[in-house]
Amino acid sequence: MSVATSHVETRPPVPPFTHETAELKVRLAEDGWNSRDPEKVALAYTPDSRWRNRAEFVSGRPEIIAFLTRKWARELDYRLIKEVWASGGNRIAVRFAYEWHDDSGNWFRSYGNENWEFDQNGLMRLRYACINDLPIKESDRKYHWPLGRRPDGHPGLSDLGL
């Protein structure tokens, strides 16, 4: 949930992160990305946020929205799980895997790591992502929930052996 007061956006939880608040921050990010709503997702980032996503460099919310719009037009039936790898102060390291297919019906599981840095209001100002795509058979998919938020109780990455 985003709170605006005196033109200052706040996105709890805010740093410094404990293990518990880092886990909540990661789950909220996962939920946002699973919405596949670029405008909503962009609000979690500072207006001048900078990203490196694979070999693409993105700066600011308008570019984030354009990037995510292209991404989810290409990566169909996208479902994501994120997990905290480490956290401290205003930074969180995350590992993730998501499943998707292209417009020809070819399925993939994309694995990656992200390093995040937040401002004092809990908005992400830096995001560095490294991602590798693995072709999979549709029968090898592990994410079968309806599009949108991963249900509570659904196994996480470690539980799935990913």
Residue range 73-102: average pLDDT?
98
**What pLDDT was estimated at residue 1?**
52
Inter-CA distances, 14 with 53, 75, 93, 100, Å: 23, 31, 15, 31
With a pLDDT cut of 90, the percent of the chain lying above it is 95
* Angle at alpha carbon of residue 90, lines to 83 and 132, rounded to 5°: 40
Does domain 10-140 correspond to CATH entry 3.40.50.1010?
Answer: no
- Provide the residue ranges of all domains of the chain, joining segments of one domain with +: 10-140
Pick from 3-7, 44-48, 111-115, 153-157: least confident: 3-7
In terms of Cβ atoms closer than 10 Å to its own Cβ (0-12, 13-18, 19+), residue 133 is: middle
pTM: predicted TM-score of the whole model, two decimal places? 0.94
* Tens-place pLDDT, residues 59-83: 999 999 999 999 999 999 999 999 9
Classified as helix, coil or strand, 47 is strand
Does position 6 have pLDDT exceeding 90, yes or no?
no
